[in-house]
Amino acid sequence: MVMGDLMLNLKAVYARAYVRLKGLLREPHWSIAEVTIPLLSLSAYVYMYTMLGAPSEYMAFVVVGGAMLAFWSNVLWGMSAQLYWEKETGTLTYYLLAPASRMAILLGMAAGGALNTTLRSLSILMVGTLLFPVEYNIVEPVALLIVFLLTVTALYGMGMLFASLFLLYGREATHIADLLQEPIYLFSGIYYPVLSNQILPYAVRLVASIIPLTFGIDAIRLLLIMGKGMGDIMLHIVGLSLLIIVLIPLAYIALRRMEDTSKRHGRLTLRWQ
Amino acid sequence: MYAVETIDLSRVFELKGRRILALDGINIRIGKGEILGLLGANGAGKTTLVKILSTLLLPTSGSAYIHGHDVVRDAKYVRGIINLVSGGETPGYGMLTVRENLWLFSQLYGLSSGIARERIEMLIRDMGLEQYRDVRMHRLSTGYRQRLNLARGFINDPKVLFLDEPTLGLDVINAKHMRRYIRDWVDADGEERTILLTTHYLAEAEEVCDKIAIIYRGRIVAYETPLALKASLSDGVSIQVELLSNRTTKGSIVEEISSRDGVLACMLVPSQNVVEQGDHGGNARYDGSIDGLTRLRIMLDDDSKIPDLVSMLVMNGYRVLSVRRDQPTLEDVYMRYVGSMGNEES
Ligand SMILES: Nc1ncnc2c1ncn2[C@@H]1O[C@H](COP(=O)(O)OP(=O)(O)OP(=O)(O)O)[C@@H](O)[C@H]1O
Ligand SMILES: [Mg+2]
C-alpha cells in the first residue's frame, strides 16, 4: 500500500514535471525572449559599473545575478501564478479529484520549472560570459554545485508555499507577485553584493535573507568569482537549509489548508472573491 | 453493497450571512450496473450532491458511501475508483496534445505506461478524436475539447462515473452519441460500472437511465424508473393557458384552480424575464407575469375538463388568450411530485 502510494505519487510528479518542460520547450520563441530580456537589463549594469570604474569582478557579479534572477521570475510567475491559473481553467479540480497527493502535483510543477529555468539561467550565464569581460575563479566546484542545488530547492520551496497562498488569497495574487518582483533587486542584491557587503543596514540584510535568492546569489558569487571554498559559505548553507526545512512543510500546510477550505466552503479562496 | 449510497445527506452553504440548504436529507441507493439520472432545475442541488460524492466537498451532516467506502474518511480510496466529467468544462493544457493531456491525467491514477497507452488509444478512437491525437488542445473546437474531457473521465476505468450535465454545449448528434456511449460502457461490464448523471432534461434521463431521481430544492421528490415516471404522467393531460388579468395576487389563481375537481396540479410558468430572487439560493421566482399576462401550466385528469376550466376563468374576470395542449415535460413531473409551485416562496 505504501509502496503503491509512493509509485503513484512519483508518477504524478514525473508527469507534472514532464508536461511542464514539454510545454515550455514547445514555445522556443519564448525561451529566446526570456534569455534576451534579462541580458538587456543586466548589460545596463555592466556598462554602469564600467563607467564608474568598478573592480572587474563586478561584471561577473552582475552576470551571475542576472542568471539567478531567472529563478525568481519563474518562482513568482511560473509557480505561484500557475496554480492560480490552473484553478481558473478548472484543471485544479481534476488534480484534487485524483488519488495522487496534492504535494506530488506541486513538486512536479516545481521540478519541471526548476529544470527548465536552469537551462534558461545557464544560457544567460553563457551568453553574458561571452559578451562581457567576465572572469571566474572556481576552487571548489562541488561546493558550488551543493549551494546551487540548495538555493534552487529553497526557492522552489518558497514557490510552492506562494502557490498555495495565492490560491487562498484569490485574484489579488498577481498584485502580490508584482510587489515581490521589484524589492528583490534591492534586497537580494541581484546586481550588487548584499550579504558580504556592509552597504545595507544589518536589519535589512536580515530581512533579505528570508528570500533564498539572497543567500544563494551571495554564496554562488563567493564560490564562482571570489575563489572561496566550503569553509567560507557555511553560514549560507545553514541559512538555505533552514529555509528549506521551514518552507516546504509550510507549503504542505498551506496546500492542506487550501484543500480544506475548498471542501468546507465550496470555494478555494478565503477572500477577495 | 451499493455502488453509491447516501444516508440523510445534507449540505448547508453560508453565503453573505445567509444559510442555504443545498441538500436536505438525501437518501439514494444506486445499484452496481445502474445509470441513475438526477433531474432538477437550476440550483436544485445536483452539482452539490455530485461534488460530495466525488470527495470535492464535505457534507454538513449525513454520510455517503461509494462501494461501501465513506467519501469523507476513505476519500483517497474513493478517488481511485471514481471519476467526474462536468459538461462545459475543458481541463488540461492548451499547449499539450490530446494524447499528452490524457497521459498526464492517467499518471495521476498511477497507470502503468502499457495500460495507459492502450487505454488512451482506445478512448481516442471511441471519442472520434483520431485526427486530433497529436494536435494541441488549444487548436480544438469546444466540442472536441469536451470529448477530450469525456475521455479523461474514463481514463482510470472508474467503477462509478459522475457526469454533471455532460451534454451541456454539445450539439444534438454529439449528445446522442454520448448517451449511447455511456449506456454501452455500463452494459459492457454491468457488475462493475455505475453512472450518476445529472441533467435538466427529462428526455435525456429517459433515454439512458435505469432510474430517475428528481431533486427539488435539495430534496429527492421522486425516485423511479422512467417507465413508472411516465406512467404517473400518462393519466393526465397537460395544458398551457395564457391569461390577461388586472388582479395582482397571482397565488390565488393557482390556489383556485388547484382546488378544482379534476385538476391534478397547477403552476405559474416563469416568463422570459424570470426574477432572480436569490432568497432561496438563486432559485428562480415563479412569477409568470409580465404586465398582467399570466401563463399557467395545468394538469387535468381528463381533457373533457378543459371547457369547464376556461369558462370558470372567464367568469372570474380573466381574459383567456390561448389554451394549448402540451407534451408532458419536466415541469409536469415537478407538478406531480412537488405540488403547486405558484406561491411557495418560503
Ligand atoms: N460554494 C457555494 N457557496 C454558496 N452557495 C452555494 C455554493 N455552491 C452551491 N451553492 C448553492 O447551493 C444550491 C444548489 O446549487 P447546485 O450548484 O448544487 O445546483 P444545481 O442543481 O447543480 O444547479 P444547476 O442546474 O444550475 O447546475 C444553490 O442554491 C446554490 O446557489
Ligand atoms: Mg450544477
Q: Per residue in B47-102, pLDDT tens?
A: 999 999 999 999 999 999 999 999 999 999 999 999 999 998 899 999 899 999 99
Q: Verify whether the Cβ–Cβ distance B51 to A97 is below 8 Å.
A: no
Residue B129: pLDDT over 90: yes
Q: Which pLDDT score is estimated for A172?
A: 66
How many domains would you assign to chain A?
A: 1
- Measured CA to CA, the distance from residue B128 to residue A24 in angstroms comes to 28
For residue range B4-34, list pLDDT tens digits in order: 999 999 999 988 888 999 999 999 999 999 9
Which residue type is seen at B245? S
Q: In terms of residue numbers, what domain contains A243?
A: 2-265
Q: Which pLDDT score is estimated for A52?
A: 85
Select the residue of A8, A27, A263 nearest B56 (Cβ to Cβ): A263
Cβ atoms within 10 Å, residue A46: 24
Residues 6+ apart with CB under 8 A from A272: A169, A170, A171, A172
Within-domain flag for A272: no
Within-domain flag for A164: yes
Which parts of chain A have pLDDT scores under 70?
Answer: 1-2, 170-174, 177, 186-188, 191-200, 268-273
Strand partners, B5: B29, B65
Q: Is the CB of B43 within 6 Å of ligand 1?
A: yes
B250 close to A (CB below 8 A): no
For residue range A36-69, list pLDDT tens digits in order: 888 888 888 888 888 888 887 788 888 888 899 8
Within-domain flag for A105: yes
B238 close to A (CB below 8 A): no
Within-domain flag for A84: yes
DSSP string over B146-215: HHHHHHHHTTT--SEEEEESTTTT--HHHHHHHHHHHHHHHHHTTTT-EEEEEES-HHHHHHH-SEEEEE
A254-258, B180-184, B328-332 — which one is most confidently predicted on average?
Answer: B180-184
Averaged pLDDT for residues B286-312: 77
Within-domain flag for A197: yes
Contacts of A99 in chain B (CB under 8 A): 76-77, 79-80, 108-110
Within-domain flag for A101: yes
Q: Is the CB of A267 within 6 Å of ligand 1?
A: yes
What's the CA-to-centroid distance between B176 and ligand 1, angstroms? 27
Which among B46, B49, B219 is the best mutation to test ligand 1's pocket, defined by most ligand atoms within 8 Å of the CB? B46
**How does residue B268 score in pLDDT terms, banded at 50, 70 and 90?**
confident
Cβ atoms within 10 Å, residue A124: 23
Q: Is the CB of B87 within 6 Å of ligand 1?
A: no
Within-domain flag for A273: no
Interface test with A, best of B11, B54, B104 (most A CBs within 10 A): B104
Contacts of B57 in chain A (CB under 8 A): 262-263, 266
Grid cell in block for residue B26: 438525501
B245 close to A (CB below 8 A): no
Chain B residue with Cα closest to A96: B56
Instruction: Determine if the pTM surpasses 0.90.
Output: no
**Paired sense of beta strands B35-39 and B194-199, if any:** parallel
Tell me what ipTM this predicted complex has. Answer: 0.87
Grid cell in block for residue B221: 421528490
What is the residue with the minimal CA distance to atom 1 of ligand 1? A266
Which residues in B288-322 are b (16+ Cβ under 10 Å) and which e? Answer: bbeeeebbbbbbbeeeebbeebeeebeeeebeeee
Select the residue of A12, A89, A264 nearest B58 (Cβ to Cβ): A264
pLDDT: is B339 or B190 the higher one? B190
Within-domain flag for A172: yes
